[in-house]
Amino acid sequence: MSQSLQFITPSRAPYFTLPKFPRRSCTLFPVINLPNTKRSITITPSLSSFLHATSSRSLPSGNSQTGAAGVVSALSVGATGIEVDAVTEAELKENGFRSTRRTKLICTIGPATCGFEQLEALAVGGMNVARINMCHGSREWHQTVIERVRRLNDEKGFAVAIMMDTEGSEIHMGDLGGAASAKTEDGEIWTFSVRAFGTPRPERTINVNYDGFAEDVKVGDELLVDGGMVRFEVTEKIGPDVKCRCTDPGLLLPQANLTLWRNGSLVSERNAMLPTISSKDWLDIDFGIAEGVDFIAISFVKSAEVINHLKSYIAARACGSEIAVIAKMESVDSLKNLEEIIQASDGAMVARGDLGAQIPLEQVPSAQQNIVQLCRQLNKPVIVASQLLESMIEYPTPTRAEVADVSEAVRQRADALMLSGESAMGQYPEKALAVLRSVTVRIEKWWREEKCHEAMELPDVGTLFADSISEEICNSAAKIANNLEADALFVYTKTGHMASLLSRCRPDCPIFAFTTTTSVRRRLNLQWGLIPFRLSFYDNMDGNLNKTFSLLKARGMIKSGDLVIAVSDMLQSIKVMNVP
C-alpha cells in the first residue's frame, strides 16, 4: 500500500514567526477580476449599500467583532474557478481567519420571511440553511420559497441549503379559521373537536386532526398546547366535542401540537400507534425529492427502522442526488433509541419544542447535551432548535436568559442553531439572526482563547481499514493544526466525508473544504467550522494546492506565509506548508 503521511517542511516563515492570532487583514470592498472565470466578480451597489444598512440596523452597537458581512462578491464559476458562498467569504474577511463563525445558522421560513428581499436579507445575515416546515402552508407556497432561495444562490452567489421538515403524525390542532393566533384567558372554556367547523366558526372552538381524540381523553386529563405554552383541563365530553378549561393562558397558534397528560404522565399509547411518516408526509417527501432539497428532517422519529426505510426510498427515487436525512429528537421513544437512530441518520435535531412537551422540562437540558455529544462521537451533524430567542418574536432584543441559552449550545459545540417562530412569523427576523450570529462568534472566540474545551474521546466511526486511515489522518491533522496554531485546514473531498471528520475534531482554525459538486458543497454548509468551496480537481495534490492558493490569494482570502495543513481523500496524506 502506498498510503503515506507526507510532511513537507514549510519553506518560508517558520511556524514560530507566525503571529498567534493574525490581525484582521480585511480590505473592504475589493473589486477583483479573476482571470479564467466566466463571470468576473462584481459588487452591486444596491447590495453593498443594503449590507451597510443591514449592519447598522440590526447589530448591537460597539461590537465590531460581529459586524455584518462587509464584502459581497458574486460567485465565480468555471472549470478553473472556485465557488464560495459570498457571505461566508465576506465574514471570513470581516472577522479574520481564525475568528470567522464556526456554528451554522438555520432559519425557518414563514410569512415574515418568504419574500425575495426578505430571504436575501437573511442570506446576507448569515443564514446557512433555510428550513420549510410542512406543518404550515401549501406545497405551492413552499415551492415558491425554494425557487426564490435557488434564484438567490444562482444570481447572488449564496449557497443556502434547503431543509424540508415533515409534519409527522402527532395530534395537533387545525388552523384558526384564518387567524394568525388566538388568545386564551384563565378559566375560559374552549371546545376541542374532530368536527370541521363552518364559517364563521363558533367562538372558542378548535379542530383536532385525530379522529379518536374524544374517545381517548378522560375528564381530568391535562391538555398541553405547544409543549405547555398553554394548558387546559378536560372538564366534559359531549359526543365528538371535548370541553376544556384554560388553566395556563397564552397564545394558540395554528397547527399547534397537542399532548395529553394523565396523573402526571404523558399519555403516549395513541401516538405510538400513529405512523412516523404519514400519508401526507410521503407526498411531501416526494415533493422534496422532486424539488431536490438538501435535507429532509423527519419529525417524531421513534426508531432507526423508519430512517433506514426513508433512506432506501430516497436512494431509489432521487437517482443520483443525495438528500441527507435528519432525525428529529422530540419524543420519549427517540430518546430511548437514541444511538441507533443517530447511527442510521445523516444528522439529528434536538427539537426542544415538542421534546419539552414529552419529557419534564427540567430534563431537556441534559437530553440536549447527550444528543449533541453522541452526534459528535458518531460524526453526525447536530442542530439545536426551538425557543433560542423566542421573545424576539415580539421584541427587538433578546432576554439575557435566551442569550445564555444560545451561548450554552455554542459551548456544547453543536453544528447548527435554528430559528423557528423568530424568523417564520416574528416581527424581527433579521435582528434575531444578527443576535445569533454575534453571540455565536463572541462565545466561540472566548472559549477558543480560554482553551477551556474539554477534550472529547472520538471513537472510530468507520468499519473498514480505509475508514480508520481517514479518521487517523483527520484527527492528527486537527491536532497538528492546533499545536502549530495553523491558519487553516484545507481538505479536498469528493463526498464530504473527510471534511466532516475534520469538523468533528472541532479544531481551533477554520476548515476550507473543497469539493467538486454543488450539492455536497451545500450539504457541508450544515457542519461546524466548514467553509465549503466548489472546485474542479486535478488528480494530484500539488496541482490542487497550487490552484487553490492562487485562486484564494487573488480573492484576498489567504496570503503568503499563512500556515496551512492540507488533507485529501484522494491521496491520503497530511501536508504542512506555508502559502507561497
Q: Which residue, 106 or 481, is less far from ligand PYR as judged by CB? A: 106
Q: Which of 91, 94, 120, 165 binds K ion (CB under 5 A)?
A: 165
Within 10 angstroms of residue 87's Cβ, the number of other Cβ atoms is: 25
Contact 443, 453 (CB under 8 A): no
Q: Work out whether the CA dihedral 419, 421, 425, 430 comes out positive or negative.
A: negative
Q: Map residue 174 onto helix, strand or coil.
A: coil
Strand runs labelled E in 85-159: 104-108, 129-133
Task: Give the cell for residue 514.
Answer: 473543497
Which of 8, 13, 43, 135 contacts K ion by CB under 5 A?
135
349-378 residues in contact with Mg ion (CB under 5 A) are 351, 354
Site for Mg ion, residues 277 to 336, rule: CB under 5 A = 330
Beta strands in 339-380 (DSSP E): 347-351
Residue listed under C-alpha cell 428532517: 297
| Residue 519: CB minimum distance to ligand PYR, A | 24
By C-beta, is 125 or 426 nearer to K ion? 426
Q: Are 286 and 142 in contact (CB under 8 A)?
A: no
Residue 136 is a binding residue for ligand ATP (CB under 6 A): yes
Q: How far is the CB of 136 from K ion (least distance, A)?
A: 8
Given candidates 130, 424, 481, 558, which one binds ligand ATP under the rule CB under 6 A? 424
Please list the alpha-helical segments (H only) found in 157-210.
Answer: none
Q: Is 420 in the site for ligand ATP (CB under 6 A)?
A: yes
Judged by beta carbon distances under 5 to 8 A according to partner kind, the member of Mg ion, K ion, ligand PYR, none in contact with residue 352 is ligand PYR
Would you say 436 or 567 has its CB closer to ligand ATP?
Answer: 436
User: Near ligand PYR by CB under 6 A, which window of 30-38, 279-287, 352-360, 501-509?
Assistant: 352-360
CB 579 within 8 A of CB 566: no
Is 169 within 8 Å of 268 (Cβ atoms)? no
326 binds ligand PYR (CB under 6 A): no
One of 333, 354, 415, 508 touching ligand ATP (CB under 6 A): 354
Convert residues 419-448 into a mask of x (bound to ligand PYR by CB under 6 A) and - (unbound).
-x----------------------------
Quote the DSSP letter at residue 288.
H
In whole angstroms, what is the distance from residue 84 CA to residue 534 CA?
A: 7
Report, in Å, the least distance between residue 351 CB and Mg ion.
Answer: 5
Instruction: Label each residue of 10-77 as H, E or C.
Output: CCCCCHHHCCCCCCCCCCCCCCCCCCCCCCCCCCCHHHHHHHHHHHHHHCCCCCHHHCCCCCCCCCCC
353 interacts with ligand PYR by CB under 6 A: yes
The enclosing H or E element of 448 equals helix 429-450
Q: How far is the CB of 327 from Mg ion (least distance, A)?
A: 12
* Closest-CA residue to 157 (of 57, 53, 48, 79): 48
SS3 state of residue 558: coil
Q: Which of 55, 95, 386, 568 binds ligand PYR (CB under 6 A)?
A: 386
Taking the C-alpha atoms of residue 218 and residue 180, their distance in angstroms, rounded to an integer, is: 30
Beta carbon of residue 285, minimum distance to Mg ion (angstroms, whole number): 17
According to the binding rule CB under 6 A, does residue 288 interact with ligand ATP?
A: no
Amino acid letter, 384:
V
Looking only at the bridges linking them, the beta strands covering 189-193 and 241-248 are antiparallel
Q: Residue 291 Cβ, how far from ligand PYR at the closest point, in Å?
A: 20
CB 29 within 8 A of CB 41: no
Give the residue, chosen from 330, 405, 422, 569, that forms a contact with ligand PYR under the rule CB under 6 A: 330
Looking at the Cβ atoms of 353 and 507, the one nearer to ligand PYR is: 353
95 or 420: CB nearest ligand PYR? 420
Q: How far is the CB of 259 from ligand PYR (least distance, A)?
A: 11
Report helix, strand or coil for 464: coil
> Can residue 108 be called a binding residue for ligand ATP (CB under 6 A)?
yes
Query: Per the structure block, which three cell numbers stand in for 433?
Result: 439572526
Q: Which is nearer to ligand ATP, 110 or 496 (CB)?
A: 110
Total interface residues for Mg ion by CB under 5 A: 3
For binding to ligand ATP (CB under 6 A), which residues are involved?
A: 108, 110-111, 133, 135-137, 165, 253-255, 299, 353-354, 420-421, 424-425
> Applying CB under 6 A, which residues contact ligand PYR?
299, 328, 330, 351-354, 385-386, 420
